[in-house]
Amino acid sequence: MALTDHPAAALIARALEATGATAATVFVAVVALFVLPTIIQWYRLSHVPGPKLAAISKYWQVRESIKGTLPQVLKELNDKHGPLVRIGPNDLVTSDPDVLRKMMAVRSPYTRGPWYEAWRLNPTRDNLFSMRDEVGHTALRNKMVAGYSGKENLSMESTIETEIARLIDLIERKYISTPKDYRPMDFGEKAQYFTLDVISDLAFGEPLGYLEKDEDVYDYIKITTASIPAMLTLGSIPTLANIIQSRFLRWLLPKETDKIGFGAFIGVTNHAVAARFAPNAAPQQDMLGSFIRHGLNLEEAQGEAVLQIVAGSDTSASTIRAFMLNICTHPPVYQKLQQEIDEAVAQGIISSPIKDAEARQLPYLQAVIREAIRILPPAGGAFFKQVPPGGDVICGKFIPGGTQIGSSPLAIHHSKNTFGEDAETFRPERWLEADEDQLEKMKATADLVFHYGKWQCPGKTVALMEFNKIFVELLRRYEWSVINPFNAARVNNAGVWMFDDFWVRVTRRGQ
């Protein structure tokens, strides 16, 4: 469509015609209205390299998000252009971990960018993740940090153990293969069943029942698999996200009265949380109990319970899948890890089930966990932060205030400068071979998957405890192998890594 064919241009033309203006005047008005803002927006960041189309349109970013290839493409751009790349008219990404730490520091003047507005799970209010107001975010976080840390949730470890036992029971009932009985299991699916039951049990005192029923309860996984890519795309177009969440279109979004899907899931969660606020409800020493004791009201608690499950289940499941996929396709790593576990069992230095503190003393297990998180950072979104009004110098370039700067997760965690020339390779030994200075540099960078400072992920303690416990229990009991070594799983990214058709064969050890 030519500029003069635009409906707004036609309206201007009619208005100017009524006043006797010439066609030239109309053209000048259209240029002023549509072209000049684009040129000005392009110019303010024209000193930062990147795709030409990305400099003038959101289309490039939206296209890569829809394709599920944005993290890989961002890494390619950083490899080509350096640590700061332009990916939108007002959007940059960096592969420099020092820049991320600077932006996320406790006293940093940076704020969350409009990208976060797409992640309101309840369109009427913000949650801990979507909230951009600094004062409100700090106040809400302070009410929740004790519950997430486990300091007031003494049953956290035993709750995770209970869900591991349910996963093992499911495997024993339905998915043990023998020479005469072949029972393949989609590990990607079961990993998310496990993390959904863990986080729901921790969040409001009872699991949603995925492991017990061995099915996608309320079609939650089906719905979120479709909706998370849409939310990531809307993050690139915050204005559109706000329109969809407006009161005029809110009726199109999931509601707690729905019978299936995300709305039904919200309804179940809200009901479970509301029971804790009943007049005769007894205080409980779990995560939700801690939130309530520290001042969360009913509406806040319901919103945060939903966020806990969405954020906590998908990211943890991603790492559990990445861990198992990589050890199954790297036999020397698998054998070395299993040997460490067997020796620890023989020496009596780990319990059954293993305790979190015991797992932290198994050096190769810790190396494999770190490497699994590094090789496939669980959250692949850019998590844009907004440059303060006065602007800032980033990677030697002045960046004007209001610009969004996000992270390039694969570029950061596959950096040869940080992790060595074989940074693209899954090799846990790097964590045992590095000297003290290099190891600290690697750890500090790898820990950025949990973010940093005022925006550090509050669920870090829960996630690491899950990882420290589940792998030992699965490897001490069973042998694992992928069904199709040429196509072990279909993996793509939609903010988190999606694993489809991750089929494995499970046998009892010694069988």
What pLDDT does 4 receive? 46
What pLDDT does 90 receive? 95
Residue showing tokens 């829809």? 66
Residue 426: which pLDDT band, with cuts at 50, 70 and 90? very high
What pLDDT does 11 receive? 52
Q: Which of 3-12, 57-66, 141-150, 361-370 has the least mean pLDDT?
A: 3-12
Q: Which residues are within 8 A (CB) of 129 and not within 5 positions of it... i.e. 6 or more apart?
A: 116, 119, 307, 311
The answer as to whether 157 is a domain residue is yes
Q: Is the pLDDT of residue 197 over 80?
A: yes
Phi, psi dihedrals of residue 490, rounded to the nearest 5°:
-95, 120
User: What mean pLDDT comes out for the span 223-237?
Assistant: 73
What pLDDT does 39 receive? 82
91-94 and 404-407: which strand pairing? parallel
Residue 353: which pLDDT band, with cuts at 50, 70 and 90? very high
Statement to judge: residues 143 and 249 lie in one domain: yes
What pLDDT does 495 receive? 72
Residue 181: which pLDDT band, with cuts at 50, 70 and 90? very high
The answer as to whether 127 is a domain residue is no
Statement to judge: residues 118 and 8 lie in one domain: no
Statement to judge: residues 443 and 492 lie in one domain: yes
Alpha carbon distance 163, 144 (integer Å): 23
The answer as to whether 298 is a domain residue is yes
What pLDDT does 233 receive? 73
- How remote is the C-alpha of 435 from its chain's centroid? 31
The answer as to whether 492 is a domain residue is yes
Average pLDDT, the chain: 88
User: What mean pLDDT comes out for the span 37-55?
Assistant: 90
pLDDT digits (tens, 9 = 90+) for 434-453: 999 999 999 999 999 999 99
Q: According to the per-residue pLDDT averaged within each range, which of 58-72, 169-183, 294-308 is highest?
A: 169-183
Statement to judge: residues 36 and 165 lie in one domain: no
The answer as to whether 442 is a domain residue is yes
Statement to judge: residues 278 and 333 lie in one domain: yes
**HEC string of 99-125?**
HHHHHHCCCCCCEECHHHHHHCCECCE
- With 0-12 / 13-18 / 19 or more C-beta atoms within 10 angstroms meaning exposed / middle / buried, residue 106 is exposed
Q: Is the pLDDT of residue 205 over 60?
A: yes
Statement to judge: residues 114 and 4 lie in one domain: no
Percent of the chain having pLDDT more than 70? 91
SS3 503: strand
- In sign, the C-alpha dihedral spanning 404, 408, 412, 417 is negative
What pLDDT does 2 receive? 47
Residue 222: which pLDDT band, with cuts at 50, 70 and 90? confident
Q: According to the per-residue pLDDT averaged within each range, which of 213-222, 240-249, 457-466 is highest?
A: 457-466
Report yes or no: 415 and 421 within 8 Å, Cβ to Cβ: no
Statement to judge: residues 195 and 106 lie in one domain: yes
Statement to judge: residues 385 and 466 lie in one domain: yes
Percent of the chain having pLDDT more than 90? 60
457 is in an annotated binding site: yes
What pLDDT does 286 receive? 81
Which structural domain range is residue 22 located in? Answer: 1-44
Higher pLDDT, residue 122 or 490: 490
**HEC string of 347-385?**
HCCCCCCCCHHHHCCCHHHHHHHHHHHHHCCCECCCCCE
pLDDT digits (tens, 9 = 90+) for 283-330: 887 888 889 999 999 989 988 888 888 888 989 999 999 999 999 999
pLDDT digits (tens, 9 = 90+) for 96-143: 999 999 999 999 999 999 888 888 877 778 889 889 999 999 999 999
Residue from 386, 123, 116 nearest 247 by CA: 123
Total number of domains in the chain? 2
Residue showing tokens 């991603």? 318
Statement to judge: residues 370 and 485 lie in one domain: yes
The answer as to whether 435 is a domain residue is yes
Statement to judge: residues 266 and 334 lie in one domain: yes
The answer as to whether 128 is a domain residue is no
Which CATH number fits the domain that encloses residue 466?
1.10.630.10
What pLDDT does 20 receive? 56
DSSP assignments along 204-267, one per residue = HSS--SHHHHTS-GGGHHHHHHHHHHHHHHHHH-HHHHHHHTSTTTGGGS--TT-SSHHHHHHH
SS3 280: coil
The pair of three-digit structure tokens given for residue 37, joined into one six-digit string:
């803002």
Statement to judge: residues 336 and 380 lie in one domain: yes
Statement to judge: residues 17 and 73 lie in one domain: no
Q: From residue 422, how far is each of 1, 413, 417, 426, 427 by CA, in Å?
A: 49, 12, 10, 8, 8
Report yes or no: 305 and 273 within 8 Å, Cβ to Cβ: yes
Alpha carbon distance 455, 448 (integer Å): 10
The answer as to whether 424 is a domain residue is yes
Q: Is the pLDDT of residue 1 over 70?
A: no
Residue 14: which pLDDT band, with cuts at 50, 70 and 90? low
Residue from 136, 103, 272 nearest 202 by CA: 272
